[in-house]
């Protein structure tokens, strides 16, 4: 039993319950009590004074292998950035993927993230067992992990964007995707690893792979993920190739539904927003990456008003070198206000995007995303009495408007992963060294 006491608590439950000073009790991997004041029972006490407890953050979109290619293609839009980096990524192997996954997830943990997806879609011939490398690295760091088995089968010679050497045969990609589900997907309550099916994008995947991936995912009871409506260039591509918008194309192929979450969704018209809301299609909002590539700002307030699930994503480290999910809370707030005005999004809505919104996108709202008895003990305890935050009376505003807060304690299933701002499951210096070696193997 672990008992955190004396902290402010934002439960992010449906009623928005908060306590200015309260307790949170954990037994095993589950929360057993949340409430005001001290906890009346026994347990190992954690002094939470000066801190805010929230649900652990949920990262809904990433490309962890890109940790090895940060800082490149600095002035490019999405298509130019991809064109420059595809040949570099063609040299990926399981050693690089293991190192980058561990580094990226360790860094996420230090920013309050307890659950992360990853969308890996580059599988060069002879690269080794990349999914196994990722799952093992996630186990090392201790985060809950939802890797998406990505794929590309539309090379440049067939009218796609990626060079032919980084795409797969359609049937081989489908077989490998189902094998990933067989080997790694855990449908049981409290699962640490779940697999999603994730062909890459309309400009790198054939309609056959998109539609058959949807059939495969629904036959196996797993979720679907892809990039959609990220840039104006993608919009033009879809209109020229398919005679419709990206969202209309996705709908045609069976890619709208409450088992789908889509990365970016920046360029949506009113009918697309309404379709996402009506079908329960989720969105992984990646404001920093969209800003880095000049893609635009997703209509997050409109999506929320329509009832669509919206979570936050850091996106790949090559298009968002910061890689910290805690900082995306503020970025999401600012981006929404740049697009929609001063009252477009509140601090509490931003926190909800990073917690319950992400849990909804991943189909785990019953287990993650809020602090309540019976839910998994994925908890972030943030220090908000330091120089950067002291004097901001509202603890949620301190977290969201203030500078990135130090994580005093991060629990994943009740297990400490971060304590007093330090990663406890791996040596960050060794993670950095491995990341540098991975970078040098690919780039130098």
d(CA 170, CA 19): 53
Q: What is the DSSP letter of 109?
A: H
Helix-helix angle 207-220:170-184, to 10 degrees: 20
Q: Which stretch of DSSP H or E encloses residue 441?
A: helix 428-443
222: how many CB neighbours lie within 10 A of its CB? 25
Tell me whether strands 57-59 and 113-120 are parallel, antiparallel or unpaired. parallel
**What pLDDT score does 106 carry?**
98
**What pLDDT score does 345 carry?**
98
Domains of the chain: 2-55+368-423 (2.30.40.10), 57-362 (3.20.20.140)
Provide the β-strand partners of residue 169: none
**What's the predicted TM-score (pTM) here?**
0.98
Helix-helix angle 428-443:94-109, to 10 degrees: 140
Q: Which of the residues in the chain have pLDDT under 70?
A: none
d(CA 281, CA 290): 20
Residue position matching structure tokens 């190192």: 99
Tell me whether strands 310-312 and 379-383 are parallel, antiparallel or unpaired. unpaired
**What pLDDT score does 277 carry?**
98
Closest CA to 202 of 160, 145, 142: 160
Q: What is the DSSP letter of 64?
A: G
CB 428 within 8 A of CB 441: no
Tell me whether strands 310-312 and 282-285 are parallel, antiparallel or unpaired. parallel
d(CA 220, CA 198): 14
């Amino acid at each position: 039993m672990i008992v955190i006491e004396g902290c402010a608590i934002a439960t992010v439950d449906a009623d928005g319950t908060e306590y200015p000073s309260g307790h949170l009790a954990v037994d095993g991997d589950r929360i057993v009590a949340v409430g005001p004041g001290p906890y009346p029972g026994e347990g190992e006490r954690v002094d939470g004074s000066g801190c805010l407890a929230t649900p652990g953050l949920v990262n809904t979109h990433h490309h962890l292998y890109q940790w090895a290619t940060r800082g490149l293609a600095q002035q490019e839009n999405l298509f130019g950035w991809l064109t420059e980096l595809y040949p570099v990524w063609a040299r990926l192997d399981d050693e690089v993927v293991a190192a980058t996954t561990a580094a990226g997830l360790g860094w996420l943990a230090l920013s309050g993230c307890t659950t992360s997806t990853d969308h890996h879609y580059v599988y060069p011939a002879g690269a080794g067992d990349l999914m196994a490398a990722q799952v093992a690295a996630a186990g090392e760091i201790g985060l809950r992990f939802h890797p998406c088995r990505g794929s590309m089968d539309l090379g440049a010679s067939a009218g796609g964007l990626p060079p032919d050497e980084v795409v797969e045969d359609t049937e081989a990609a489908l077989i490998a995707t189902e094998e990933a589900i067989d080997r790694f997907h855990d449908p049981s309550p409290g699962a640490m690893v779940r697999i999603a099916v994730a062909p890459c994008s309309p400009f790198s995947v054939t309609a056959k792979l998109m539609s058959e991936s949807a059939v495969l995912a629904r036959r196996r009871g797993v979720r679907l993920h892809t990039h959609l409506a990220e840039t104006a260039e993608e919009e033009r591509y879809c209109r020229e190739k398919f005679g419709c918008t990206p969202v209309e194309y996705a709908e045609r192929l069976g890619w709208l539904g409450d088992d789908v979450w889509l990365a970016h969704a920046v360029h949506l018209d009113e009918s697309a927003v309404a379709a996402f809301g009506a079908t329960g299609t989720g969105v992984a909002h990646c404001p920093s990456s969209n800003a880095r590539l000049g893609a635009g700002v997703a209509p997050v307030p409109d999506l929320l008003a329509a009832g669509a699930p919206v979570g936050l994503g850091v996106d790949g480290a090559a298009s968002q070198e910061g890689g910290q999910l805690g900082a995306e809370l503020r970025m999401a707030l600012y981006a929404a206000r740049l697009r929609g005005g001063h009252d477009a999004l509140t601090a509490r809505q931003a926190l909800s995007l990073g917690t319950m919104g992400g849990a909804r996108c991943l189909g785990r709202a019953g287990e993650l995303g809020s602090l309540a008895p019976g839910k998994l003990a994925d908890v972030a305890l943030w220090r908000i009495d330091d120089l950067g935050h002291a004097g901001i009376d509202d603890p949620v505003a301190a977290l969201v408007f203030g500078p990135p807060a130090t994580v005093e304690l991060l629990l994943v299933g009740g297990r400490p992963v971060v304590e007093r701002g330090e990663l406890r499951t791996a040596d960050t210096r060794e993670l950095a060294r491995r990341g540098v070696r991975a970078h040098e193997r690919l780039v130098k």
